[in-house]
Structure 1
Amino acid sequence: MAISINSTRFPVSAREQYFRVARYYRKASFFIRHNASDPRLSNLLNASLADFQAAIKLLPQPAHYLWLNTTQNFTVPVYFYPAKQTQSSQQQKICFIPEWREAVMLVVDYVATRDDVDVERLGLGGISYGGLLAPLAVTQEHRFAAVLTIDGMLNLQQLLETEFPLSLTKLASSGNRTAFNAAVEEAYSVPGTSTTFRWAVDQGTWLFDTPDDPYEWYEKTGAIYLDEAKLQQDSLPCLCWLGAEHQLGMVTLDWLVDVFDWKTGNSTTTH
Protein backbone atom coordinates (compact mmCIF):
# COMPACT_ATOMS: atom_id res chain seq x y z
CA MET A 1 0.00 0.00 0.00
CA ALA A 2 2.85 2.41 0.81
CA ILE A 3 4.17 2.52 -2.77
CA SER A 4 0.65 3.14 -4.10
CA ILE A 5 0.36 6.39 -2.13
CA ASN A 6 1.50 9.63 -3.73
CA SER A 7 4.11 10.62 -1.15
CA THR A 8 4.36 14.15 -2.55
CA ARG A 9 0.67 14.85 -2.01
CA PHE A 10 0.15 12.65 1.04
CA PRO A 11 3.51 12.33 2.85
CA VAL A 12 2.00 11.48 6.24
CA SER A 13 -0.12 8.62 4.87
CA ALA A 14 2.82 7.22 2.91
CA ARG A 15 5.18 7.57 5.87
CA GLU A 16 2.85 5.74 8.26
CA GLN A 17 2.41 2.87 5.81
CA TYR A 18 6.18 2.55 5.35
CA PHE A 19 6.65 2.49 9.13
CA ARG A 20 3.89 -0.10 9.46
CA VAL A 21 5.34 -2.49 6.87
CA ALA A 22 8.89 -2.02 8.23
CA ARG A 23 7.64 -3.11 11.65
CA TYR A 24 5.77 -6.04 10.09
CA TYR A 25 8.91 -7.35 8.36
CA ARG A 26 10.94 -6.92 11.56
CA LYS A 27 8.39 -8.79 13.67
CA ALA A 28 7.96 -11.54 11.06
CA SER A 29 11.56 -12.66 11.53
CA PHE A 30 10.81 -13.56 15.17
CA PHE A 31 8.99 -16.67 14.02
CA ILE A 32 11.64 -18.20 11.74
CA ARG A 33 14.81 -17.94 13.83
CA HIS A 34 15.08 -21.65 14.52
CA ASN A 35 17.16 -21.92 11.34
CA ALA A 36 19.80 -19.18 11.46
CA SER A 37 20.75 -19.83 7.82
CA ASP A 38 17.19 -19.30 6.56
CA PRO A 39 17.59 -16.76 3.71
CA ARG A 40 14.30 -15.16 4.67
CA LEU A 41 15.99 -13.67 7.75
CA SER A 42 18.30 -11.43 5.72
CA ASN A 43 15.54 -10.74 3.19
CA LEU A 44 13.21 -9.56 5.94
CA LEU A 45 15.94 -7.44 7.51
CA ASN A 46 16.76 -5.74 4.21
CA ALA A 47 13.08 -5.16 3.45
CA SER A 48 12.47 -3.73 6.92
CA LEU A 49 15.45 -1.36 6.67
CA ALA A 50 14.49 -0.21 3.18
CA ASP A 51 10.94 0.65 4.22
CA PHE A 52 12.09 2.28 7.47
CA GLN A 53 14.52 4.48 5.55
CA ALA A 54 11.78 5.33 3.04
CA ALA A 55 9.59 6.38 5.98
CA ILE A 56 12.13 8.61 7.72
CA LYS A 57 12.76 10.46 4.45
CA LEU A 58 9.15 11.62 4.69
CA LEU A 59 9.50 13.07 8.20
CA PRO A 60 9.14 16.87 8.49
CA GLN A 61 12.75 16.86 9.69
CA PRO A 62 14.41 13.80 8.06
CA ALA A 63 16.95 11.88 10.08
CA HIS A 64 20.63 11.78 9.19
CA TYR A 65 21.83 8.24 8.52
CA LEU A 66 25.50 7.53 9.21
CA TRP A 67 27.91 4.81 10.29
CA LEU A 68 30.39 5.31 13.14
CA ASN A 69 33.56 3.20 13.33
CA THR A 70 34.58 1.62 16.64
CA THR A 71 37.90 0.25 17.83
CA GLN A 72 36.31 -3.21 18.23
CA ASN A 73 36.14 -4.11 14.51
CA PHE A 74 32.49 -3.23 14.03
CA THR A 75 30.52 -0.17 13.02
CA VAL A 76 27.46 1.46 14.56
CA PRO A 77 24.52 2.51 12.37
CA VAL A 78 22.99 5.76 13.64
CA TYR A 79 19.78 7.55 12.77
CA PHE A 80 20.32 11.05 14.13
CA TYR A 81 17.28 13.30 14.41
CA PRO A 82 18.31 16.97 14.52
CA ALA A 83 16.75 19.45 16.93
CA LYS A 84 12.97 19.86 16.61
CA GLN A 85 12.23 16.48 15.71
CA THR A 86 18.16 -3.35 15.51
CA GLN A 87 20.51 -3.57 12.53
CA SER A 88 24.21 -3.59 13.41
CA SER A 89 24.11 -6.97 15.12
CA GLN A 90 22.28 -8.72 12.30
CA GLN A 91 24.23 -7.29 9.38
CA GLN A 92 27.68 -7.63 10.94
CA LYS A 93 27.05 -10.89 12.85
CA ILE A 94 28.18 -9.25 16.10
CA CYS A 95 25.15 -10.10 18.22
CA PHE A 96 25.08 -9.31 21.94
CA ILE A 97 28.55 -8.74 23.38
CA PRO A 98 29.84 -7.43 26.73
CA GLU A 99 31.50 -4.55 24.84
CA TRP A 100 28.12 -3.14 23.76
CA ARG A 101 29.00 0.01 25.71
CA GLU A 102 31.60 0.80 23.02
CA ALA A 103 28.77 1.57 20.62
CA VAL A 104 27.13 3.86 23.17
CA MET A 105 30.37 5.72 23.87
CA LEU A 106 30.95 6.24 20.17
CA VAL A 107 27.50 7.73 19.67
CA VAL A 108 28.02 10.09 22.62
CA ASP A 109 31.38 11.13 21.16
CA TYR A 110 29.58 11.98 17.93
CA VAL A 111 26.67 13.96 19.38
CA ALA A 112 29.09 15.89 21.60
CA THR A 113 30.64 17.36 18.44
CA ARG A 114 27.34 18.88 17.34
CA ASP A 115 26.37 22.41 18.31
CA ASP A 116 22.66 21.53 18.12
CA VAL A 117 22.90 18.98 20.97
CA ASP A 118 22.70 19.91 24.65
CA VAL A 119 25.15 17.42 26.15
CA GLU A 120 23.84 18.26 29.63
CA ARG A 121 20.53 16.65 28.65
CA LEU A 122 21.47 13.25 27.29
CA GLY A 123 19.46 10.19 28.27
CA LEU A 124 20.02 6.52 27.43
CA GLY A 125 17.07 4.18 27.08
CA GLY A 126 17.13 0.39 26.86
CA ILE A 127 14.13 -1.74 25.88
CA SER A 128 13.78 -5.49 26.51
CA TYR A 129 17.34 -6.87 26.80
CA GLY A 130 18.43 -3.26 26.43
CA GLY A 131 17.00 -2.85 29.92
CA LEU A 132 20.20 -4.59 31.05
CA LEU A 133 22.57 -3.23 28.41
CA ALA A 134 21.69 0.44 29.01
CA PRO A 135 22.36 0.59 32.77
CA LEU A 136 25.44 -1.57 32.22
CA ALA A 137 26.75 0.94 29.66
CA VAL A 138 26.36 3.92 31.99
CA THR A 139 28.60 2.25 34.56
CA GLN A 140 31.40 3.15 32.12
CA GLU A 141 29.91 6.05 30.14
CA HIS A 142 29.20 8.88 32.58
CA ARG A 143 28.10 11.65 30.22
CA PHE A 144 24.40 10.83 30.47
CA ALA A 145 22.01 12.65 32.76
CA ALA A 146 19.59 9.73 33.12
CA VAL A 147 19.00 6.13 32.12
CA LEU A 148 15.74 4.34 31.27
CA THR A 149 15.39 0.58 31.66
CA ILE A 150 12.22 -0.63 29.99
CA ASP A 151 11.75 -4.19 31.27
CA GLY A 152 14.99 -3.95 33.22
CA MET A 153 16.91 -6.94 34.51
CA LEU A 154 20.20 -7.70 36.28
CA ASN A 155 21.25 -11.06 34.89
CA LEU A 156 19.66 -12.98 32.01
CA GLN A 157 21.51 -16.17 32.88
CA GLN A 158 20.01 -16.23 36.37
CA LEU A 159 16.59 -15.53 34.89
CA LEU A 160 16.99 -18.46 32.50
CA GLU A 161 17.90 -20.74 35.39
CA THR A 162 14.62 -19.90 37.13
CA GLU A 163 12.67 -20.67 33.94
CA PHE A 164 14.50 -23.88 32.98
CA PRO A 165 13.26 -27.24 34.28
CA LEU A 166 15.29 -28.24 37.35
CA SER A 167 17.05 -31.03 35.44
CA LEU A 168 18.20 -28.56 32.78
CA THR A 169 19.38 -26.07 35.38
CA LYS A 170 21.50 -28.78 37.02
CA LEU A 171 23.06 -29.69 33.67
CA ALA A 172 23.85 -26.04 33.01
CA SER A 173 25.51 -25.68 36.41
CA SER A 174 27.52 -28.87 35.90
CA GLY A 175 29.18 -27.53 32.76
CA ASN A 176 28.22 -30.63 30.76
CA ARG A 177 27.81 -29.01 27.35
CA THR A 178 26.96 -32.23 25.49
CA ALA A 179 24.30 -33.34 27.95
CA PHE A 180 22.83 -29.84 28.18
CA ASN A 181 22.52 -29.49 24.40
CA ALA A 182 21.01 -32.95 24.11
CA ALA A 183 18.45 -32.14 26.80
CA VAL A 184 17.51 -28.85 25.12
CA GLU A 185 17.13 -30.59 21.76
CA GLU A 186 14.99 -33.32 23.29
CA ALA A 187 12.77 -30.84 25.13
CA TYR A 188 12.44 -28.71 22.01
CA SER A 189 11.21 -31.67 19.95
CA VAL A 190 8.54 -32.85 22.41
CA PRO A 191 5.09 -31.92 21.00
CA GLY A 192 3.85 -30.64 24.35
CA THR A 193 6.76 -28.27 24.93
CA SER A 194 5.59 -24.69 25.36
CA THR A 195 5.91 -22.22 22.53
CA THR A 196 7.60 -19.86 24.98
CA PHE A 197 10.45 -22.33 25.57
CA ARG A 198 10.94 -22.97 21.86
CA TRP A 199 10.90 -19.27 21.06
CA ALA A 200 13.36 -18.49 23.88
CA VAL A 201 15.83 -21.06 22.53
CA ASP A 202 15.42 -19.84 18.94
CA GLN A 203 15.66 -16.18 19.90
CA GLY A 204 18.56 -16.63 22.30
CA THR A 205 20.76 -18.80 20.09
CA TRP A 206 20.08 -16.52 17.13
CA LEU A 207 20.83 -13.25 18.95
CA PHE A 208 24.01 -14.63 20.52
CA ASP A 209 25.06 -16.31 17.25
CA THR A 210 25.18 -19.84 18.68
CA PRO A 211 22.64 -21.61 16.41
CA ASP A 212 23.88 -25.15 17.08
CA ASP A 213 25.04 -24.74 20.65
CA PRO A 214 22.45 -23.71 23.28
CA TYR A 215 25.04 -24.21 26.01
CA GLU A 216 27.28 -21.55 24.47
CA TRP A 217 24.28 -19.22 24.42
CA TYR A 218 23.74 -19.95 28.12
CA GLU A 219 27.42 -19.27 28.85
CA LYS A 220 27.46 -16.00 26.90
CA THR A 221 24.48 -14.65 28.83
CA GLY A 222 26.53 -14.98 32.00
CA ALA A 223 29.14 -12.52 30.72
CA ILE A 224 26.63 -9.65 30.56
CA TYR A 225 25.21 -8.77 33.97
CA LEU A 226 24.79 -6.17 36.67
CA ASP A 227 25.68 -6.73 40.31
CA GLU A 228 26.10 -4.58 43.40
CA ALA A 229 29.70 -3.67 42.56
CA LYS A 230 28.80 -2.51 39.05
CA LEU A 231 25.75 -0.61 40.23
CA GLN A 232 27.99 1.35 42.60
CA GLN A 233 29.68 2.81 39.51
CA ASP A 234 26.36 4.31 38.35
CA SER A 235 24.85 7.17 40.33
CA LEU A 236 22.46 8.35 37.60
CA PRO A 237 18.73 8.78 38.09
CA CYS A 238 17.16 5.60 36.71
CA LEU A 239 13.59 4.79 35.74
CA CYS A 240 12.74 1.09 35.53
CA TRP A 241 9.41 0.45 33.82
CA LEU A 242 7.36 -2.70 33.30
CA GLY A 243 3.86 -2.90 31.83
CA ALA A 244 1.25 -0.14 31.26
CA GLU A 245 2.69 0.45 27.79
CA HIS A 246 -0.04 2.94 26.86
CA GLN A 247 1.37 5.29 29.48
CA LEU A 248 5.03 4.54 28.75
CA GLY A 249 5.76 7.55 26.55
CA MET A 250 3.97 10.03 28.77
CA VAL A 251 5.55 8.88 32.03
CA THR A 252 9.10 8.39 30.75
CA LEU A 253 9.30 11.65 28.81
CA ASP A 254 7.80 13.65 31.68
CA TRP A 255 10.31 12.01 34.01
CA LEU A 256 13.19 12.85 31.67
CA VAL A 257 12.18 16.51 31.46
CA ASP A 258 12.05 16.64 35.24
CA VAL A 259 15.50 15.05 35.56
CA PHE A 260 17.02 17.33 32.92
CA ASP A 261 15.63 20.41 34.67
CA TRP A 262 17.00 19.18 38.00
CA LYS A 263 20.42 18.48 36.47
CA THR A 264 20.64 21.96 34.99
CA GLY A 265 19.40 23.71 38.13
CA ASN A 266 15.95 24.60 36.80
CA SER A 267 13.97 22.43 39.23
CA THR A 268 13.80 21.84 42.96
CA THR A 269 12.83 18.19 42.50
CA THR A 270 15.34 15.72 43.93
CA HIS A 271 16.34 12.34 42.47
Structure 2
Amino acid sequence: MNLEGFPDLPAFPPGEVWLAGAGPGDPRLLTVLALHAVSRADDIVHDALVDSRVLRLARQDAVLLPVGKRGGRPSPKQDEINALLVERARAGRRVLRLKGGDPFVFGRGWDEVTALSEAKLRFRIIPGLTAGLAGTALAGIPATSRDTNHAVVLAAGHRAEGQSTADWEALGRLGQPLILYMPMAQLEEIVAALQRGGLPGDTPAALVQSATTEDERVVESRLDALAEDAERHGIGSPCIAVIGAIATLRRRALASMVGWS
Protein backbone atom coordinates (compact mmCIF):
# COMPACT_ATOMS: atom_id res chain seq x y z
CA MET A 1 0.00 0.00 0.00
CA ASN A 2 1.43 3.37 -1.04
CA LEU A 3 1.43 5.95 1.77
CA GLU A 4 3.76 8.41 0.08
CA GLY A 5 1.07 11.08 -0.28
CA PHE A 6 -0.12 10.83 3.33
CA PRO A 7 0.86 13.95 5.29
CA ASP A 8 3.42 14.11 8.08
CA LEU A 9 4.53 10.47 8.29
CA PRO A 10 7.74 10.47 10.32
CA ALA A 11 11.04 9.00 9.19
CA PHE A 12 12.01 5.68 10.79
CA PRO A 13 15.75 6.14 11.45
CA PRO A 14 18.13 3.23 11.99
CA GLY A 15 18.67 2.51 15.67
CA GLU A 16 15.15 3.47 16.76
CA VAL A 17 12.51 1.18 18.23
CA TRP A 18 8.84 1.81 17.50
CA LEU A 19 6.27 0.14 19.77
CA ALA A 20 3.03 -0.26 17.82
CA GLY A 21 -0.37 -1.81 18.34
CA ALA A 22 -1.63 -3.98 15.48
CA GLY A 23 -5.26 -3.81 16.58
CA PRO A 24 -7.56 -6.75 17.34
CA GLY A 25 -6.79 -8.80 14.23
CA ASP A 26 -8.13 -7.60 10.90
CA PRO A 27 -5.32 -5.70 9.10
CA ARG A 28 -7.83 -3.06 7.97
CA LEU A 29 -7.91 -1.90 11.57
CA LEU A 30 -4.25 -0.89 11.58
CA THR A 31 -3.71 2.82 12.07
CA VAL A 32 -1.98 4.62 9.21
CA LEU A 33 1.09 5.17 11.38
CA ALA A 34 1.25 1.48 12.33
CA LEU A 35 1.01 0.52 8.65
CA HIS A 36 3.80 2.99 7.88
CA ALA A 37 5.93 1.37 10.59
CA VAL A 38 5.31 -2.16 9.28
CA SER A 39 6.28 -1.09 5.77
CA ARG A 40 9.54 0.57 6.92
CA ALA A 41 10.90 -1.72 9.63
CA ASP A 42 14.04 -3.82 9.20
CA ASP A 43 13.10 -6.10 12.11
CA ILE A 44 9.58 -6.84 13.34
CA VAL A 45 9.49 -8.32 16.85
CA HIS A 46 5.90 -9.53 17.04
CA ASP A 47 3.43 -11.21 19.34
CA ALA A 48 1.64 -14.46 18.54
CA LEU A 49 -1.70 -12.66 18.24
CA VAL A 50 -0.56 -10.40 15.41
CA ASP A 51 -2.51 -11.57 12.35
CA SER A 52 -0.39 -13.17 9.60
CA ARG A 53 -2.02 -10.82 7.10
CA VAL A 54 -0.50 -7.88 8.98
CA LEU A 55 2.95 -9.46 8.80
CA ARG A 56 2.58 -9.95 5.06
CA LEU A 57 2.52 -6.15 4.73
CA ALA A 58 6.19 -6.01 5.79
CA ARG A 59 9.07 -5.51 3.34
CA GLN A 60 10.21 -8.71 1.68
CA ASP A 61 13.63 -8.36 3.28
CA ALA A 62 12.31 -7.56 6.77
CA VAL A 63 13.29 -9.98 9.52
CA LEU A 64 10.29 -11.36 11.44
CA LEU A 65 11.10 -12.27 15.03
CA PRO A 66 8.21 -14.02 16.87
CA VAL A 67 8.26 -13.58 20.64
CA GLY A 68 4.63 -14.39 21.40
CA LYS A 69 3.55 -15.59 24.80
CA ARG A 70 1.09 -18.48 24.93
CA GLY A 71 -0.26 -19.83 28.18
CA GLY A 72 1.36 -23.12 29.18
CA ARG A 73 3.84 -23.12 26.28
CA PRO A 74 7.53 -22.20 26.23
CA SER A 75 7.93 -18.55 25.25
CA PRO A 76 10.50 -15.78 25.66
CA LYS A 77 10.54 -14.04 29.02
CA GLN A 78 10.01 -10.29 29.11
CA ASP A 79 13.65 -9.62 30.01
CA GLU A 80 14.71 -11.57 26.91
CA ILE A 81 12.37 -9.55 24.70
CA ASN A 82 13.70 -6.32 26.19
CA ALA A 83 17.28 -7.43 25.52
CA LEU A 84 16.41 -8.37 21.93
CA LEU A 85 14.98 -4.92 21.24
CA VAL A 86 18.07 -3.24 22.65
CA GLU A 87 20.45 -5.55 20.77
CA ARG A 88 18.79 -5.06 17.37
CA ALA A 89 18.52 -1.30 17.78
CA ARG A 90 22.17 -0.98 18.80
CA ALA A 91 23.05 -2.93 15.65
CA GLY A 92 21.56 -0.05 13.66
CA ARG A 93 18.31 -1.75 12.73
CA ARG A 94 14.90 -0.10 12.42
CA VAL A 95 13.09 -2.18 15.03
CA LEU A 96 9.31 -2.48 15.22
CA ARG A 97 7.86 -4.07 18.34
CA LEU A 98 4.43 -5.10 17.10
CA LYS A 99 1.79 -6.13 19.60
CA GLY A 100 -1.79 -7.24 19.24
CA GLY A 101 -4.30 -4.59 20.27
CA ASP A 102 -2.68 -1.62 22.00
CA PRO A 103 0.83 -1.77 23.50
CA PHE A 104 -0.31 -0.28 26.81
CA VAL A 105 -3.50 -2.27 27.38
CA PHE A 106 -2.31 -5.49 29.04
CA GLY A 107 0.54 -5.59 26.53
CA ARG A 108 3.61 -4.96 28.71
CA GLY A 109 4.49 -2.01 26.56
CA TRP A 110 5.63 -0.04 29.57
CA ASP A 111 8.15 -2.75 30.51
CA GLU A 112 9.75 -2.26 27.10
CA VAL A 113 9.62 1.53 27.27
CA THR A 114 11.46 1.33 30.58
CA ALA A 115 14.14 -0.96 29.13
CA LEU A 116 14.66 1.27 26.09
CA SER A 117 14.86 4.37 28.27
CA GLU A 118 17.46 2.74 30.51
CA ALA A 119 19.45 1.78 27.40
CA LYS A 120 19.20 5.42 26.20
CA LEU A 121 17.63 4.35 22.91
CA ARG A 122 15.17 6.47 20.99
CA PHE A 123 11.68 5.05 20.64
CA ARG A 124 8.23 5.98 19.38
CA ILE A 125 4.85 4.82 20.69
CA ILE A 126 2.04 4.04 18.24
CA PRO A 127 -1.28 3.25 19.94
CA GLY A 128 -3.56 0.59 18.47
CA LEU A 129 -7.21 -0.38 18.70
CA THR A 130 -7.61 -2.62 21.72
CA ALA A 131 -9.67 -5.79 21.24
CA GLY A 132 -11.76 -5.20 24.35
CA LEU A 133 -13.25 -2.06 22.79
CA ALA A 134 -12.88 -2.44 19.01
CA GLY A 135 -13.48 -6.18 18.83
CA THR A 136 -16.59 -6.05 20.98
CA ALA A 137 -17.95 -3.00 19.13
CA LEU A 138 -17.63 -4.78 15.79
CA ALA A 139 -19.48 -7.75 17.30
CA GLY A 140 -22.34 -5.39 18.14
CA ILE A 141 -21.53 -4.80 21.82
CA PRO A 142 -20.77 -1.18 22.79
CA ALA A 143 -18.54 -0.47 25.78
CA THR A 144 -21.06 2.11 26.99
CA SER A 145 -24.53 3.28 26.11
CA ARG A 146 -26.58 6.10 27.56
CA ASP A 147 -29.25 3.65 28.69
CA THR A 148 -27.02 1.13 30.47
CA ASN A 149 -23.79 2.51 31.93
CA HIS A 150 -21.52 5.50 32.40
CA ALA A 151 -18.47 3.46 33.35
CA VAL A 152 -16.83 0.24 32.21
CA VAL A 153 -14.02 -1.84 33.72
CA LEU A 154 -11.25 -3.39 31.60
CA ALA A 155 -9.47 -6.23 33.39
CA ALA A 156 -6.94 -8.93 32.55
CA GLY A 157 -8.50 -12.33 33.11
CA HIS A 158 -5.23 -14.26 33.11
CA ARG A 159 -2.43 -14.48 35.63
CA ALA A 160 0.73 -12.70 34.51
CA GLU A 161 4.12 -14.00 35.62
CA GLY A 162 4.62 -13.30 39.31
CA GLN A 163 1.36 -11.34 39.64
CA SER A 164 -2.02 -12.05 41.17
CA THR A 165 -5.28 -11.52 39.32
CA ALA A 166 -7.76 -8.73 39.93
CA ASP A 167 -9.91 -8.63 43.06
CA TRP A 168 -12.94 -10.13 41.34
CA GLU A 169 -15.20 -9.92 44.39
CA ALA A 170 -14.54 -6.19 44.63
CA LEU A 171 -15.23 -5.76 40.91
CA GLY A 172 -18.47 -7.68 41.33
CA ARG A 173 -19.61 -5.11 43.90
CA LEU A 174 -19.16 -2.21 41.48
CA GLY A 175 -22.24 -3.06 39.46
CA GLN A 176 -20.56 -1.83 36.26
CA PRO A 177 -19.99 -3.81 33.05
CA LEU A 178 -16.72 -5.72 32.86
CA ILE A 179 -14.66 -6.42 29.74
CA LEU A 180 -12.17 -9.20 30.44
CA TYR A 181 -9.12 -9.98 28.33
CA MET A 182 -8.00 -13.61 28.04
CA PRO A 183 -10.18 -14.97 30.85
CA MET A 184 -10.70 -18.53 29.64
CA ALA A 185 -8.18 -20.35 31.84
CA GLN A 186 -9.69 -18.78 34.99
CA LEU A 187 -13.29 -18.32 33.85
CA GLU A 188 -14.98 -20.55 36.43
CA GLU A 189 -12.97 -18.97 39.24
CA ILE A 190 -13.76 -15.45 38.00
CA VAL A 191 -17.48 -16.15 37.67
CA ALA A 192 -17.67 -17.61 41.18
CA ALA A 193 -15.81 -14.65 42.69
CA LEU A 194 -17.97 -12.09 40.90
CA GLN A 195 -21.06 -13.79 42.29
CA ARG A 196 -19.56 -13.84 45.78
CA GLY A 197 -19.07 -10.11 45.34
CA GLY A 198 -22.79 -9.71 44.75
CA LEU A 199 -23.12 -9.73 40.95
CA PRO A 200 -26.38 -11.60 40.20
CA GLY A 201 -26.17 -14.88 38.34
CA ASP A 202 -28.60 -13.64 35.70
CA THR A 203 -26.32 -10.75 34.71
CA PRO A 204 -26.07 -10.76 30.88
CA ALA A 205 -22.75 -11.91 29.45
CA ALA A 206 -21.11 -12.70 26.14
CA LEU A 207 -17.89 -14.20 24.79
CA VAL A 208 -16.16 -12.93 21.65
CA GLN A 209 -13.51 -15.33 20.36
CA SER A 210 -10.93 -14.27 17.73
CA ALA A 211 -12.54 -10.87 17.28
CA THR A 212 -12.48 -9.31 13.78
CA THR A 213 -10.99 -12.39 12.14
CA GLU A 214 -12.59 -15.07 9.97
CA ASP A 215 -12.57 -17.34 13.05
CA GLU A 216 -14.69 -14.95 15.13
CA ARG A 217 -17.42 -16.56 17.21
CA VAL A 218 -19.84 -14.84 19.61
CA VAL A 219 -21.74 -16.65 22.36
CA GLU A 220 -24.42 -14.83 24.37
CA SER A 221 -25.05 -16.13 27.88
CA ARG A 222 -25.50 -15.05 31.48
CA LEU A 223 -22.96 -14.92 34.29
CA ASP A 224 -23.92 -18.17 36.05
CA ALA A 225 -23.91 -20.14 32.77
CA LEU A 226 -20.90 -18.50 31.14
CA ALA A 227 -18.29 -21.16 31.88
CA GLU A 228 -20.67 -23.99 30.91
CA ASP A 229 -21.66 -22.26 27.66
CA ALA A 230 -18.02 -21.62 26.82
CA GLU A 231 -17.25 -25.32 27.17
CA ARG A 232 -20.38 -26.39 25.29
CA HIS A 233 -19.55 -24.15 22.32
CA GLY A 234 -15.82 -24.92 22.39
CA ILE A 235 -14.79 -21.31 23.02
CA GLY A 236 -11.09 -20.82 23.68
CA SER A 237 -8.42 -18.16 23.50
CA PRO A 238 -8.02 -15.52 22.27
CA CYS A 239 -11.27 -14.38 23.79
CA ILE A 240 -12.92 -11.34 25.33
CA ALA A 241 -15.65 -11.77 27.94
CA VAL A 242 -18.29 -9.08 28.40
CA ILE A 243 -20.31 -9.12 31.63
CA GLY A 244 -23.09 -6.62 32.22
CA ALA A 245 -26.09 -4.97 30.60
CA ILE A 246 -24.13 -3.95 27.49
CA ALA A 247 -24.00 -7.63 26.48
CA THR A 248 -27.73 -7.55 25.68
CA LEU A 249 -27.45 -4.65 23.24
CA ARG A 250 -26.04 -6.87 20.51
CA ARG A 251 -29.50 -8.28 19.82
CA ARG A 252 -30.81 -4.83 18.91
CA ALA A 253 -27.93 -4.16 16.52
CA LEU A 254 -27.79 -7.44 14.59
CA ALA A 255 -30.95 -7.00 12.53
CA SER A 256 -29.54 -4.06 10.57
CA MET A 257 -25.82 -4.18 11.28
CA VAL A 258 -23.60 -4.63 8.23
CA GLY A 259 -21.24 -7.57 8.73
CA TRP A 260 -17.53 -7.02 9.21
CA SER A 261 -16.27 -8.57 5.98
TM-score normalised by the chain length of structure 2: 0.30
Question: Of Structure 1 and Structure 2, which has the larger fraction of its residues in helix?
Answer: 1
Larger RCO: 1 or 2 (CA < 8 Å, sep 6+): 2
Greater fraction strand: 2
Q: TM-score, normalised by structure 1?
A: 0.29
